[in-house]
Amino acid sequence: MNRDAKIFVAGHKGFVGSAIVRTLHQRGYNRLILKTKPELDLRDSLQVQYLFRKEQPDYVFLAAAKVGGIAANRDVPADFIRDNLMIQQNVIDASYQSDVKKLLFLGSACIYPKLAPQPLKEQYLLTGALDETNEPYAIAKIAGIKMCQAYNKQYNTRYITAIPTSLYGPTNHFDMQTSHVMPALIRKFHEAAQRNLPQVEIGERGTARHEFLHVDDLANACLYLMEHYEDCDIVNVGAGEDISIRELAEKIKTITGYNGEIVYTAAQPDGTSGKLVDATKINGLGWQAKIGLNEGIRSAYAWFIQNESLLSK
């Protein structure tokens, strides 16, 4: 991409989108098209078409999505499938109508079958039943992948798809009840340290394993793929290794300065191990994750401390 290219980052205020914007600015890309939700409803096809006709972007990073945890997916499944299908359809088709040079679509590791063997290979897509807890969201993401591939086949477009593993880092959601395991543990240990609590309780045995990728590594991978990848097939983006909850808790305990005891109550069965993706393909293209887990947790924790007063409101 030329430094003077016009780049539309859909979802630039989100966790992934904001990381992509940070990385673009660091690389000297300053002609960015950034619209907030009040300025542009991506579910409205007329608004999206108008934006593309007016701005004529050269490249598009489609990071916008309706996301949420298990409870949200359970309570409003229609919202998840409808909103994501609308966002994807509108942006992908407007990109074609406006002759966008290249588009990168962000998928999710939840697209893979629930019982697929790990590490998850790209060819496992559509080989089995999905996890029912987020099936509407996963189906919408799969539809976005297939839409990109169909446009490439019929219209000779250059639309690619990246599939990240579990993400963490600055601007994450740090609510202990609704956020993912990494930010929830960071907040739990931080508050225990601040209150000088004698122990931190984790309601499982801690044997479940998860893979974590720093969101800035994902943003770096997205730019790398935009510049180096042209095939229709999806590409996993991962760190290449996983870690048990016990090991993760010990790391976070050290980084937050907590001096108490960790107690595993086994009040609940261990959660399902997180999806470890096979990153062989992207590694073969010349990209690898650079941010180690200790360094990454420190950066996420530093951001949390800086923004704690806002997060508590």
Which domains are seen in the chain, by residue range?
7-168+211-237 (3.40.50.720), 181-209+242-274+292-311 (3.90.25.10)
pLDDT at 270 over 60: no
pLDDT given for residue 207 in this prediction: 86
Q: Collapsing DSSP states into helix, strand and coil, what is residue 242? A: strand
CA distance 139 to 83: 12
| Residue with the two structure tokens 């870690």 | 243
pLDDT given for residue 73 in this prediction: 83
pLDDT given for residue 259 in this prediction: 95
CA distance 88 to 109: 17
pLDDT given for residue 269 in this prediction: 52
CA distance 80 to 94: 21
Per-residue pLDDT tens digits for 99-124:
999 999 999 999 999 999 999 999 99
pLDDT given for residue 141 in this prediction: 98
Q: Collapsing DSSP states into helix, strand and coil, what is residue 103? A: strand
pLDDT given for residue 309 in this prediction: 64
**Looking at 29, 112, 137, 224, which residue is catalytic?**
137
pLDDT at 313 over 60: no
Separation in Å, CA 52 to CA 19, 64, 304: 23, 16, 36
When pLDDT is averaged across residues 57-80 and rounded to a whole number, the result is 90
More confident residue, 132 or 148: 148
Per-residue confidence band for 48, with pLDDT thresholds at 50, 70 and 90: very high
Active site residue 137: yes
pLDDT given for residue 265 in this prediction: 82
More confident residue, 132 or 86: 86
CA distance 239 to 166: 10
Percent of the chain with pLDDT over 70: 94
- Give the number of C-alpha atoms closer than 13 A to the C-alpha of residue 115, restricted to the C-beta side: 3
Residue-averaged pLDDT of the chain: 93
Annotated binding site for NADP(+): 11-17, 141, 180
Q: State the pTM of this model.
A: 0.93
Q: Which of 225-249 are b and which e, b meaning 16 or more Cβ less than 10 Å from the residue's Cβ?
A: bbeebeebebbbbbbbebbbbbebb
CA distance 222 to 10: 13
pLDDT given for residue 30 in this prediction: 94
Per-residue pLDDT tens digits for 165-217:
999 999 888 776 656 788 989 999 999 999 999 999 988 788 888 999 999 99
pLDDT at 279 over 90: yes
pLDDT given for residue 310 in this prediction: 62
Annotated binding site for substrate: 188, 270
Report which secondary-structure segment, H or E, holds 163: strand 159-164
